[in-house]
Amino acid sequence: MIRSLIITALILIAAALLGWWEKEQYSSEKAISEKLSKQVAANPSDDFQTPQGMERRKKDLAMKAKMKKLSSDFFAQSIRAAEDPVAAFGEEFRMLEAELKSRLAELGPAEIKQFIEECTNNPDLNPQTKQDLNRYIREVFVQNDPLEMTRLMVKSPELFGIGDEKTYDPFSYLVYYFSSTKRDLQLVFECLAESPPAFQSKYIGGALQFGADSPSQRAELLEEMRYFATTPQRKEIVNAKLSELAFGRPDVKASFVELSDWLGSANLSSDELVAATKGMQEKVRVGETAQWLDWLTKNDIPDDVSKERAFELATRWAEKDYQAVGNWLNNSPYSPEKSGVASAYAAKIYPYNPEAAMQWIQTLPQGPDRTKALEAIYQDLPQGSDAAEAFARENGLEE
């Protein structure tokens, strides 16, 4: 019995709200007509005296009045919820919120912009109402029409709180929602394509963070990144993220087998391999460095780049286990990568065994490789000391 009475009361409330809303609409339309008539009388030569002009002006005034009313209703609801948190969890409030969301969902791009402008210009705007407005932007506008919202946010980022550290960035939410919840990476990159380079560079990482949880998802993401990279600038943005895509976050190091299998299946070009392996020494397990060095020798990476990658890997490896680096050198055939490892190894052992270090340096050909190794040793010596100056003189490093 009580449940029936509650349902009947809610129906009566909803009917009352609908009647009140229709009355407000009628009053608003009447006010617009009166305002338009006054403007025509005051400006008989203006364009809106023509039927087409009058119709455009009427629509414009109606839209502004509608957004003003919608903004007013939003503030009333937000303020009420802040003042009476208990009521905010009640059935009546949920009905009002659903009705407000329904009205917001019907807005077009121009109306959305007008609505947000009305809200941001309202003197009652405070942190709570800002938070509520941001939630509607995310839960209604962004989810319903991400491409149009992208265009609006790109054109007026400050209007949507983008750049405001206290506001949940709605563009970041867009990337998260369609990368993770909806799994629509194509749409994410369509939105990025509508954005300026600053947005592309800032938000492309969100797709990697939220949309690359498995090897298959990473493969799908790689394809979307390739389609996206249609200009040199976009290609540069994509290349800056390929290492993160290939190896994941530095704090979560996957195994050599898992990573090398994915790299092999991705069919990366030489340029993509160069980009993907940048900084790899920070993203692989130190104990698997020997496998990565062998992997470098078998992949289509330019010798100078592969040598640099080997040097970086071996430098980190030697800090943990220089004897293992020495064993790898003793058992590996000549390769550009071996030159890079020898340089790193010599620099590491020089303070303890300068003779052995110089012997490894002698295996390097005269030129950049040997100079780099000597300079690495020199930089580790106390600068300005007699030992440093003597080493520089003996090895031709003096200016």
- pLDDT band at residue 46, thresholds of 50, 70 and 90? low
The answer to whether position 158 is within a domain reads yes
Q: Tell me: pLDDT of 319 over 50.
A: yes
The answer to whether position 190 is within a domain reads yes
Give CA 285 to chain center in angstroms: 26
Q: What is the mean pLDDT of the chain?
A: 86
- The DSSP-derived string for 119-150 is HHT-TT--HHHHHHHHHHIIIIIIHH-HHHHH
Same domain, 310 and 230: no
The answer to whether position 5 is within a domain reads no
pLDDT tens track for 124-137: 999 999 999 999 99
Same domain, 77 and 149: no
Last residue of a domain, one of 242, 276, 296: 242
Q: Tell me: pLDDT of 385 over 70.
A: yes
Q: Tell me: pLDDT of 202 over 60.
A: yes
The secondary structure of residue 178, as a DSSP letter, is I
Same domain, 288 and 388: yes
CA distance 212 to 217: 5
pLDDT given for residue 36 in this prediction: 44
Give CA 95 to chain center in angstroms: 35
pLDDT given for residue 102 in this prediction: 94
**Domain assignment of residue 189, given as a range:** 136-242
Which positions ≥6 away from 377 have C-beta within 8 Å? 346, 347, 350, 357, 391
- Least confident residue range of 40-44, 239-243, 321-325, 376-380: 40-44
Same domain, 167 and 293: no
- pLDDT band at residue 396, thresholds of 50, 70 and 90? confident
Residue type, 262: W
Q: Say if CB 169 and CB 161 are below 8 A apart.
A: yes
Q: Say if CB 363 and CB 342 are below 8 A apart.
A: yes
Phi and psi torsions of 350, nearest 5°: -55, -45
Q: Tokens 């009355």, residue?
A: 23
Structure tokens given for 39 = 């403007």
The answer to whether position 111 is within a domain reads no
Q: pTM to 2 decimals? A: 0.78
Same domain, 236 and 266: no
Phi and psi torsions of 190, nearest 5°: -65, -40
pLDDT tens track for 297-313: 999 899 999 999 999 99
